[in-house]
Structure 1
Amino acid sequence: MTSGVAKSAVLAEIHSLARPLKSDRDLDGLVRRAADCRFVAIGEASHGTHEFYTWRDTLSRRLIEEEGYNWIGVEGDWPDCWRINRWVRGEAGQDHGVHALLGGFERWPTWMWANEEVAAFLDWLRGWNLARPMSRRVGFYGLDVYSLWDSLREIIGWLEDNVPDAVPAAMRAWQCFVPHHEDPHKYAWSTRLVPESCEADVIALLTEVRNRVSGQGDHGEGAFDAVQNAEVAANAEHYYRIMVRGDRRSWNVRDHHMADTIDRLSRHLGPASKGLIWEHNTHVGDARATDMAQDGLVNVGQLLRERHAADGVMLVGLASHRGEVIAADAWGSPERILPVPPARPGSHEDFLHEALGVPSVLDFGEDRSGPWLSTWLGHRAIGVVYHPERELGNYVPTRIGERYDALIWLEHTVALRPVHHEGPPREPEFETEPTGY
């Protein structure tokens, strides 16, 4: 990308694809395109940027209002998001305000979901839902795999209330983990030192819960919650056991779990359901269009396309040139407002800035063979741990026309607004690979 001709062609293509982004009406093209899709995955280049959350909120509201999207799956824990789901659907917790609800997020980094931007969206969503019959209310669900102990607690509670004779199977799994004091890393390290694990117990528990739900013919919300918590427990055990060995396949365990959860939600909510997925660009953008593919890594965007092409899938990335972000210096440390320096020369962000200079929305259309869409360039991805002075490693080689179907571009961004500051982590997680997403 050194010749003036090549650069001018790239800039011209970017300019031809872009439309200025000033209001929600400037998203009309994406909304029309989403009408024929069952899944729209909307990313973010960091978990700590105000504009990424607010534009994702704006697009999501329009898709809910105009195109019938009726559930949202996010990069969060199932038990925490299940409580939000019941609140926004008017099923429980109605005496609590949204800030009290978000105060229940305790896993670091809490700012991902316990922030003012999410609070505003959830308040709107609850109001939207309460004006409609239960069958037309929009759900909010966690897709992630981390909540091992919380999910075990939820399973035990459901079994005690519904099939108490199955509680012993849950308690065997619980007792297996008890010596590790609710620290998944202590458990995982123990399996590295001594080749004994709780795998058989959590698989037996998953089988027991599935059989009990199936045997009762119970396909209601409580039963679905119990089965999903059992899936989380089984996959979390697998994830931590692999991760502690430094095996990059733990990334695939996590993203397969999230994609499988999307499939379970779709089956549970019925063939007419339409889902929005909120995750980091690193999960949303098709891994085959990045260097992740060379390492055998997959992600949610890739799996959605592979599994649901016939249903219609749209992947939307978000990116910016400079500004600030909420992130931390180290895993488990308090959050800080950190600067985001101007994009590195020769990156996708650098060319977008030079070609556009204003917030824009770019719809890639069908032909992705142009000099920008088909070229490998660095694309910035900021994790929850971020060091602006060492930013080179934050650029992921990307063919952007294959990674996404559309891109929302922002010139200057500001930090997300947490509802509270980080306390000591209750159950700290190791960084995942790629780092911190």
Structure 2
Amino acid sequence: MTALIRDAARPYTGEALTALLSPATRLLGLGEPTHGVEAFPELRNELFRHLVEHEGYRSITLESDCLSALIADAYVNDGIGTLDDATSRGFSHGFSAMPANRELLRWMRAYNEQRPPHERLRFYGFDGPLETAGAASPRPALTALHDHLAAHLDLAWSRETLDELVGPDERWTNPAAMMDPARSVGRTPEAKKLRLIADDLRTLLAAHAPHLTAATSPDDWWHADLHARTAAGLLRYHAGMADTTPTRFGTLVCLRDAMMADNLDAIVRREARRGPTLAFAHNAHLQRHRSQMQFADQPLQWWSAGAIIATRLGDQYAFAATTFGSRGSDVPRPDTLEGLLSTLPHARSVVDPGRLAAGIDRKLTPRVPADHTYFALDPATTDQIDAIVFVKDI
């Protein structure tokens, strides 16, 4: 290891990480290389506490269902419900099973308990109501949006009309539709009508924003807009599930991250006067360069939510990628980035990518991990990362 490489790394602390970021940062994306490894959400919790206590952050958002997250936020903000209920119902993708997520909600609630509303921490999800096996019914999002508008405006559609068009929720959530477009209802005549209605309802929400905000509150309007984005995004995603062309899966991953980016954009705008936001998700959803993966024997490429939001925020967006060295018998080769970082003396390191690149005197090869769920960092893309967090062993 050269002195330049040693000098590029510091023991992991929140202060060491934020020292590498632009002071203009409004959204910090902290990526993890795989899901289900407790070391990364624990590291996230440690960073978030530092950001709250020393950097003025007042919100965090996770790669989790944006509507389910409202349950978790109600608990951490106002003490509504219990920690058990907020944990079990406030996360999607099986993330409720991770102790670090329960601990995050517990700490946020304790922090908020003695503080006025404007100083309290907020919890968000920025993913859609999507799971690996499919997508949710649009009914909850559509009806919540409809009810908000109907309380103040004369609408051309009744709740009964929406219910008839949606039909049984099981039609929308059928897991067989993920692999078989013929099983999807996303392009039926009813679904097409619902997409037009969702678009019209969202336009009404925007057009009457001054009146609706005055009649309710900015928070109520923001939540209505969240349901409007979600309804439109779900209907768009279901239409993608009904696509019969070879590019179907590529379309779905693009639609998902576009929905994520819109949610991140809305969160940053809502939090603008309160402070920056920490976003936590897989590296592939937050990185600036093009993401890629194999799914159903197809190579997929798409622009991540981080790449999309970076085009809107510029230097107000920062990305810190995490990766690791050894995982049991899976030890990185010396000619990989992870192999090189494994020679660092620290159990957890914060690495300056620019200084690291200056100290590398040979071409590194991308790591091929034993676990297909782990995405290694591409050495050729480190110039698009603001900070690397390296965990030597997990």
- Whether the TM-score (by the shorter chain) exceeds 0.5 is yes
Which residue of 5, 12, 18 corresponds with 1:14? 5
Q: 1:268–1:369: structure 2 CA closer, same or farther, 3 Å change rule?
A: same
Amino acid at match of 1:306: T
TM-score, with normalisation over the residues of structure 2?
Answer: 0.80
Match of 1:385 in 2: none
Per-residue CA distance 1:188-225 (angstroms, 9 max, x = gap): 73487995351441342243144146423325323322
- For residues 312 and 159 of structure 2, the distance between their equivalents in structure 1, rounded to whole angstroms, comes to 32
Aligned pairs for 1:30-429 within 5 A? 30-34=17-21, 35-90=23-78, 93=80, 96-104=81-89, 107=92, 109-110=93-94, 112-146=95-129, 149=136, 152-157=139-144, 159-160=146-147, 163-164=150-151, 166=155, 168=157, 171-179=160-168, 181=170, 182-183=172-173, 185=175, 189-190=181-182, 196=188, 198-212=191-205, 214-215=207-208, 216-218=211-213, 219-243=217-241, 245=244, 246-271=248-273, 273-288=275-290, 297-310=302-315, 312-323=316-327, 341-344=330-333, 346-356=335-345, 358-364=347-353, 370=358, 372=360, 377-378=365-366, 388=370, 391=372, 394-395=375-376, 397-413=378-394
For normalisation by structure 1, the TM-score amounts to 0.73
Point out where structure 1 has 5 or more consecutive residues left out of the alignment: 1-7, 324-338, 382-387, 414-437
Measured at CA, do residues 46 and 286 of structure 1 come closer, stay the same or move farther in structure 2, by a change above 3 Å? Answer: same
Residue 358 and residue 239 in structure 1: after superposition, are their counterparts in 2 closer, same or farther (change >3 A)?
same
Kindly state the Cα deviation for residue 102 of structure 1 after the two structures are TM-superposed.
1.3
User: Aligned in 2, Cα 1:305/1:205: closer, same or farther, shift over 3 Å?
Assistant: closer
Q: CA deviation at 1:100?
A: 2.3
1:104-154 deviation line (CA, Å, top 9, x unaligned): 2585x31x2442111111111111122221012121111112356466325
Q: Distance in 1 between matches of 2:125 and 2:173?
A: 21
Residue 15 of structure 2 aligns with which residue?
Answer: 28
Which runs of no fewer than 5 residues in structure 2 stay unpaired?
294-298
Counterpart for residue 425 of structure 1:
none
Following superposition, the deviation at residue 248 of structure 1 comes to: 0.7
Shift in CA distance, 55/315, structure 1 to aligned 2, threshold 3 Å: same
- Alpha-carbon separation, structure 1, partners of 2:158 and 2:337: 52
Q: Is the 8 A contact 1:259 1:304 kept in 2?
A: yes
What's 1:328 paired with?
Answer: none
**Quick one: distance in 2 between partners of 1:316 and 1:66?**
18
Cα pair 1:360 1:410 within 8 Å, conserved: yes
CA RMSD of aligned residues (A): 3.4
State the distance in 2 between where 1:405 and 1:212 align.
37
